[in-house]
Structure 1
Amino acid sequence: MTTHDSSPRPPAPAAPPASDTTTTPHGTPTAPGTPHARRRAPRALRTELRRGVGPWAGAGTAVVVAVAMYGKADYVNGWQNRWTDATDLLRVAGVLLCGPLAVAAGCWQGGRERRRGTGAWRASLPGSPLRQTLLAAAPIALWPAVGYLIAAAGCLLATWPYVSGGAPHLELVAADAVVLASLGTVGFVLGRAIPWRFTAPLLAVVTYVGLAYPNYSEPPARWLNPANQHSYFLDRPVWWFGPVSMVWAGGLAAAVLLAYAARRRATALVPLTAACAAAVLIAQTGDGLWRPDPWAARPVCDDGTPQVCVSAVDRALLPAVSAALAPLNARLRGVPGAPTRWVDPNPAEGEAQLPPPAFDSVRGRLKDPVAYADSAVDHLFSESCEDADFQAPDWERALAVNNAVGAWLSPADGLGPILGPAELRHLARLEAKSPADQRAYLARYLSADRCDAAQVPVP
């Protein structure tokens, strides 16, 4: 006979709301904000960082920057001579070339999430929509920035053995990394929002044109473009340029992200306001963002006669420059009218303009000392003579004499002007003179007005 227990049973405990708790692997409910829940966030971020196209975008950024910098390393006036040259070229390679890559990769990643329908799956996970969007966008925001920073660190280490001192503009390198992260984030949001497969390549083209075009204009607002290059080696950016540039780029990206994913979209006005304030500050300052660097312009001289003086930023090249100009200085030494010293930049009265040594050097050495000395002679006799009548009969003779004197002061082994019969005759007469007569003629030549053809003495 079967009996039934009619005693009341205790009610089963109610399940906690999914939005208030999570469950550990042992079945223990854990509320958000507890130590275990906080430990899950870094784990989820690590998982997301290994997903999708993010790691490939970071590797591609590093490769593009490295290849672009390597391709310019052997150019005369290469980027390894000065910190300013290195960081300027890094900005162009990192932002102009990799910015379109970052925005296209972000757009592709966002479109991939939309096409696979991961939005509904993410909505079922703990956390707000903004948190889930941040996790999804993290790989495409962080990896291009990391790839750029790794490549930049390698380039700066390759520059360090050859520079003459000073420091790289690390604040601008960091600002460039923020720009790449911001472009990746904006691309991710647009990829999620625009259901068109050609959005990614179109964004890449638009980004490249938008970054490249302002480089050919002169308005003060061009400094809002992170790919704009400043190439004067005696300047240094003001201390706040880098941080304000980060606010400008990062604020725009944060505003786009909040407007897309935040519950209260009005919060996007906060970063947007910060970005606009940074933009106004940059645009109003204009070229004042770069100030003369007193240390870089400080002259460093040898003890020769005439003296050779380079700016402190090129002092590692001073021994090579002095050696290249030694034969020329031996002929100028003690001659009335000869320059008292060679100076770069801004020579004073009685001084001669020294060709910028970094423009003829690669990795801390002069590429061709003979050609550099020939360039110094060209600078020594570089009168503009704007009012001269070069069709006058005396000018043919004067030009032949000028070329002969230049070839005598610095024989350039075929790199200088090609000498014709008249130049060769003047050069032969000059070389046949005794050293005393050569110096006397050179004194007459240097004291003459070389813009008046009649005054140019014949050897």
Structure 2
Amino acid sequence: MSASDIAGIPGSPDVPDSHGSGAAAPGGPGALVPRTVPPAPRRSRGVLGTELRRGVGPWCAGAVVAVCWVTMYGKSPQWMGRWAETTDLLRVAALLLCGPLAVAVGCWQGGRERRRATGDLLASLPRAPLRRTLLAVAPAAVWPAAGYLLAAAGCALATWPYAAGGGPFLSLVAADAVALAALGVLGFVAGRLIPWRLAAPLLAAVTYVGLGVPAYADSPARWLDPALDHMYFWDRPVWWFGPASMVWTAGLAGAALLAYAARRRISALPPLAAACAAAVLLAGTGDGLWRPDPAAARLVCDDGAPQVCVTAVDRKLLPSVSAALAGLNARLRGVPGAPVRWIDGPRAPGPGREQLAAAPGVVVRKVGEPVLLGSREAQLPDPFSLSEHGEISDPALYAKWAVGYLFSQDCSGTDFDTPAARRATAVNDAVNQWLAPRPDSAAIPLYGGDVHLRRLRAMDRAESRAYLARYLAADLCRAEEVPVP
């Protein structure tokens, strides 16, 4: 078949048809013409990706991470070692400090089209107003939450080697991220409605006050504040606390956004109703949002004598605590009247936590109750208050605190300006320094206590045991009963 025959076939892809619809190829009529295929168009990354990459959104995420990490680093001894403390302090840093930042960024994002005078141009596009608004608000909602989640992951990794048992309260971490996103959305709506460049910093200041004031209130409604913390290490949040907080904050933000941008503003009622229901649940439950956790308050003990027991949340500190009390325990071991066990436990459990005191293996300590008479158990100072990176930072000071707890009594009404009281004070100082010596307090102040200390150091084992037995049996509030070495 010749080229002219091929050209006569209708619909032939390679040659022009016989009607002359194609241009003649070089080389004469009837020559084959190569088909030109247009290049495939590049795939668009999407409007949402463009919105998220540009503007102040990424900078806001970086600022949230920086604020959280700097704040947490400055207070690392206070949280690195307990999951509850990590979650509480991170929540305060994120919501109280970064919440105003999220509102300000959202407000600035909301006023972008007004500053650029592009509102009329965007309104002429075929895209629905709600869709345009959702695309515009995405950076203000996504980036603060993403920055917080990254900061929370870093703090969790820092806590992991030193915390004992359990883990971060993930539902509350998610609720905090949703709260930051909701604050960004509310700021965006305010930026669309308030045509003022100073609206962003003013809204940030108002948000800071609004998030901080409820912490000083006694009303159950204070739990509607997402920045409120809970400073009791032997509790856990109820399982629905986090989801209810998400519904509360996200419902408010969703209702505000729909009321502003939806074609039918009645569509804002469902999220508003959900937010109100969650608010009633949170405020109605109040302090019951946190429940006692017997597993966290369970005692973990060593095999020493006297025995040292800490709660499960501090069990990784137990070897360090035992080492800090080794010298003190060596002097108390076998002395009549000396404690047989040091106990650290939840203090001042408060209403609604009676079941914690009744749980097996849990001992609830009352504030100011150093010794349980009849059981020869002494209160242990809080080991976490002197810990750093999983160890007691000052063992000598911790042992000093333990001696102070052992001999502390309520002596209100006692006259300390008598010769007998001054002598008893000198003896008490000498005994404390002898049992738990500190290099920075070698000299005993007041009333010649150094003389008593030299006598105690000169005693042999039998003499010191006999004196300690008399000292432990005495009423330290009655100066005349305090034995002199």
Normalising by structure 1, we get a TM-score of: 0.88
Q: Does 1:382 align with 2:384?
A: no
Aligned partners of 2:258 and 2:267 also within 8 Å: yes
Partner residue, 1:157? 157
1:450 aligns with 2:453: no
Please report the RMSD computed on the Cα atoms of aligned residues, expressed in angstroms. Answer: 1.7
Q: Provide the residue aligned with 1:437 in structure 2.
A: 463
Equivalence for 1:97: 97
Preserved CA contact (<8 Å) 1:140 1:181: yes
Aligned to 2:243: 243
Q: Identify if the C-alpha distance between structure 1 residues 431 and 79 changes in structure 2 by more than 3 Å, giving closer, same or farther.
A: same
- Aligned equivalent of 1:47, options 45, 50, 70: 50
Q: Give the aligned residue type for 1:368.
A: D
SS in structure 1 at match of 2:291: strand
- Aligned partner of 1:427 among 429, 453, 462: 453
Provide the residue aligned with 2:223 in structure 1.
Answer: 223
Secondary structure of the 2:308 match is: strand
* Distance across 2 between alignment mates of 1:398 and 1:385: 13
| 1:121 shift after superposition | 2.7
CA deviations 1:150-187 (Å, max 9, x no partner) are 11101101111111111111111111111110011010
8 A Cα contact 1:64 1:98, kept in partner: yes
In structure 1, what is the equivalent of residue 196 of structure 2? 196
AA in 2 matched with 1:440: A
- Give me the whole-angstrom Cα distance separating, in 2, the residues matched to 1:124 and 1:60: 35
Classify the secondary structure of the residue corresponding to 1:315: helix
CA 1:416–1:188 in 2, change beyond 3 Å: closer, same or farther? farther
Q: 1:408 aligns with which of 411, 434, 442?
A: 434
For the residue of structure 2 that corresponds to 1:309, the secondary structure is: strand
Give, in angstroms, the shift of residue 127 of structure 1: 3.0
**Secondary structure of 1:414's aligned partner:** helix
Q: Distance in 2 between matches of 1:409 and 1:133?
A: 71
- Alpha-carbon separation, structure 1, partners of 2:226 and 2:106: 19
Checking the alignment, whether the CA contact within 8 Å between 2:443 and 2:450 is kept in structure 1 is no
Q: Percent identity?
A: 65
Q: Which residue of 2 aligns with 1:29?
A: none
| Alignment match, 1:398 | 424
Cα deviation for residue 320 of structure 1 reads 0.8
- Aligned residue in 2 for 1:359: 385
Q: What does residue 81 of structure 2 align with?
A: 81
- The separation in 2 between residues aligned to 1:416 and 1:126, in whole angstroms, is 83
What do the CA deviations read for 1:214-234 (whole angstroms, capped 9, x no partner)?
Answer: 222332222111111112111
Q: Does the 8 Å contact 1:342/1:354 carry over to 2? A: yes
Give yes or no for contact 1:371–1:415 (8 Å, CA) kept in 2.
Answer: no
Q: CA distance change for structure 1 residues 261 and 162 in 2, over 3 Å: closer, same or farther? A: same
Shift of 1:416: 8.2
CA contact (8 A) 2:299 2:312 kept: yes
State the distance in 1 between where 2:304 and 2:104 align: 57
- What's the counterpart of residue 140 of structure 1? 140
How far apart, in 1, do the equivalents of 2:335 and 2:167 lie? 41
Distance 1:418 1:88, change over 3 A: farther
Q: Report 1:108-119 matches (<5 A).
A: 108-119=108-119
Does the CA-based 8 Å contact 1:403-1:417 persist in structure 2?
Answer: no
Query: Which amino acid in 2 is paired with 1:265?
Result: R
Deviation by residue 1:330-365 (Cα, 9 ceiling, x = unmatched): 011111111110000135442111111111001111
Per-residue CA distance 1:90-125 (angstroms, 9 max, x = gap): 101111110010000111111122222333233233
* Alignment partner of 1:65 out of 53, 60, 68: 68
Residue matched to 1:316: 316
Which AA in structure 1 matches 2:449? Answer: E
State the AA in 1 paired with 2:483: P
Amino acid at match of 1:62: V
Q: Is the partner of 2:75 in helix, strand or coil?
A: helix
SS at match of 1:243: helix
> Can you give the 5+ residue segments of structure 2 that lack an aligned partner in the other structure?
1-37, 346-363, 366-371
Distance apart, 1:387 and its partner CA: 3.7
Following TM superposition, by how much is the alpha carbon of 1:434 offset from its aligned partner in structure 2, in angstroms? 2.2
Are the aligned partners of 2:423 and 2:447 in contact in 1 as well (CA < 8 Å)? no
1:66-96 per-residue CA deviation (whole Å, 9 max, x = no partner) reads: 11111222x3xx3111111111111011111
**Any idea what SS the aligned residue of 1:204 has?**
helix
* 1:429–1:399 CA distance, 2 compared to 1 (3 A): same
Amino acid at match of 1:443: A
Contact 1:404 1:419 in 2 (8 A): no
Q: Is the 8 A contact 1:328 1:373 kept in 2?
A: yes
Higher radius of gyration, 1 or 2: 2
Deviations 1:367-404 (A, max 9, x none): 11111111111111121223433344422111111111
Q: Are 1:339 and 1:351, in contact at CA under 8 Å, matched by a contact in 2?
A: yes
In 1, distance between residues paired with 2:412 and 2:134? 64
Higher mean displacement: 123-132 or 143-152: 123-132
Q: Is the 8 A contact 2:426 2:447 kept in 1?
A: no
Q: CA deviation at 1:61?
A: 0.8
- 1:374·1:416 contact (CA, 8 Å) conserved in 2? no
In structure 1, distance between residues paired with 2:409 and 2:220: 34
Q: Cα deviations across residues 268-302 of structure 1 (Å, max 9, x unaligned)?
A: 12111111111111111111111111111010000
Give the superposition deviation at 1:405.
Answer: 0.7
The one-letter code of the counterpart of 1:365 is E
Match of 1:370 among 396, 402, 427: 396
- Name the counterpart of 1:180: 180
Q: Deviations over 1:23-49 (max 9, x none)?
A: xxx9xxxxxxxxxxxx98x82211211
Task: Summarize the Cα distance change of 1:102–1:354 in structure 2 as closer, same or farther, 3 Å threshold.
Answer: same
Q: 2:277 — aligned with what?
A: 277
- Alpha-carbon offset, residue 55 of structure 1: 1.3
The separation in 2 between residues aligned to 1:417 and 1:119, in whole angstroms, is 78
